[in-house]
Structure 1
Amino acid sequence: MTAMTAMALPPRRVVIFDVGGVVAESPIVAIRLFCQQRQLADLNRFLFSSSAWHRLERAQMAFRDFPEAALKECQERGVQDGINLGLEGWRELLQIIRGVANLRPVMLQAIQRLRQHGFVVAALTNNFAEAKDPSAAAALARFRSLFDHFIESSASKMRKPETGFYQLALDTIGCKAHEAIFLDDIGKNLKPAAAMGIHTILVENNHPEQYLEALEKLQGLVNLQLTDLAAKL
């Protein structure tokens, strides 16, 4: 997409989706449930500020090295529940995070309809770089093809909520901030985008279908029925 094309787009003709917690089920919820089952405090708070986690998302650390690095960081910071989890527990938790990839059909339908009606659709995600078998690689390629642009932390060495990551997205898409709508399930990730002039929508996941409220807001902004559930939203 050229800059000239982007300039021709009416306001808010670009929609940027986070993946986990928006297009797919939330890893945050999976982590919270994992901790509850083991009577541990929610480790999401630790992960949000963990330097090891941030390095993993920037592909500055091998996937296999994260559990040991996370445990060491917990020991250094005095995060007792992370210490109590132990090395094997961290390995188990990472596998659970890795396995949270259940896509939400309603969101996939919304993406398809946006593109059919001329919207530019992008993904902006904090993710991991890891070796995949051929079948997994093929599935990932199919998923990426749903979007016009797929911008990821593991490839760019930047991550949300770094301002440069959002600017990279705008530059890659070829649009201005005021032309874009961004959906994410973490408020901290939305603040820098909003400060840049991007219209933001918080996707909440406190109960299984709460994310549909964000989809309703998106439908109002784009003035388009995005799913067959629209009449119920």
Structure 2
Amino acid sequence: MKNNAIKIVLWDYGGVLTESPIKNFQKFENDNNYILNTIVKINSNNKYKNAWAKLEKDEISIEKFSILFKEEAKQFGISNINTDKLLKCLNVKLNIRMVELLKNISKFYTCVCLTNNFKKMNSSNFEKIKHNFSLIIESSKIGLRKPEKQIYTYVLKVLKVNAKEILFIDDLGINLKPARELGFQTYKFIDTNKTISYMKNMLKI
């Protein structure tokens, strides 16, 4: 059995197939006596043009990112933030149960990864699972990133399917909204158990 209405399962990587880096950000904030969730707020401010966005689109080097991010952090009351340690917060463990789900789904459906990343990012965990994907779309290679609408139109162009034939899973609602507006079927990852149950029912596997 499978759901013939779905042709592509589109996966986010960080926060879906891995643990969320948000916990690492919060520990980083706690260790440095920063207000909780300040890092997320910095990254959400001017989200299409800020340092994080430019890094993930490969528009700037990590060195330039450090300079720009420190300036952005000052607007939130943080001076001389350690950006090297901040970026290490992205080193997270794989969510083994979600990886097993990916392996199972990939036997029946074309699985594609849509990820925001940067070129010098630690990719050792991703290397372990990338064989499950027919295609990997990386922000740092195409110069587009979630949640820019252009990246979703790019996905449609490359995959050559109707939007309604794609099931897109991401842990951030802000990334799902523009895809849903284009007609993608979407699911927000919050809980592993609920996600596994939903995906199995939706995909009839």
Pick the aligned partner of 1:103 from 94, 97, 102.
94
In the alignment, structure 1 residue 178 sits paired with structure 2 residue 168: no
SS at match of 1:21: coil
Pick the aligned partner of 1:120 from 104, 110, 130.
110
Distance 1:36 1:170 in 2: 41
Distance 2:177 2:129 in 1: 27
Is the Cα contact below 8 Å between 1:58 and 1:156 reproduced in 2?
yes
Give the structure with the larger helix fraction: 1
Aligned residue number for residue 211 of structure 1: 192
Question: Structure 2: which 5+ runs fail to align?
Answer: none
TM-score (norm 1): 0.78
TM-score (norm 2): 0.87
Bigger Rg, which one: 1
Question: Structure 1: which 5+ runs fail to align?
Answer: 1-8, 205-209, 225-233
In the alignment, structure 1 residue 166 sits paired with structure 2 residue 152: yes
In the alignment, structure 1 residue 130 sits paired with structure 2 residue 124: no
Q: Deviations over 1:87-139 (max 9, x none)?
A: 4x222112222x22x1122112111111212x11011111011287xxx67x6
SS at match of 1:145: helix
Aligned residue number for residue 41 of structure 2: 45
Cα 1:107–1:40 change in 2 (3 A) is same
Q: Give the aligned residue type for 1:54.
A: A
Q: What pairs with 1:82-93 in structure 2 (closer than 5 Å)?
A: 82-83=78-79, 86-87=80-81, 89-93=82-86
Q: CA RMSD in A?
A: 2.1
Distance 2:161 2:30 in 1: 42
Q: Give the aligned residue type for 1:93.
A: L
Percent same amino acid among aligned pairs?
25
The count of residues paired between Structure 1 and Structure 2 equals: 198
Is the Cα contact below 8 Å between 2:116 and 2:138 reproduced in 1?
yes
In the alignment, structure 1 residue 15 sits paired with structure 2 residue 9: yes
Deviation (angstroms), 1:198: 0.8
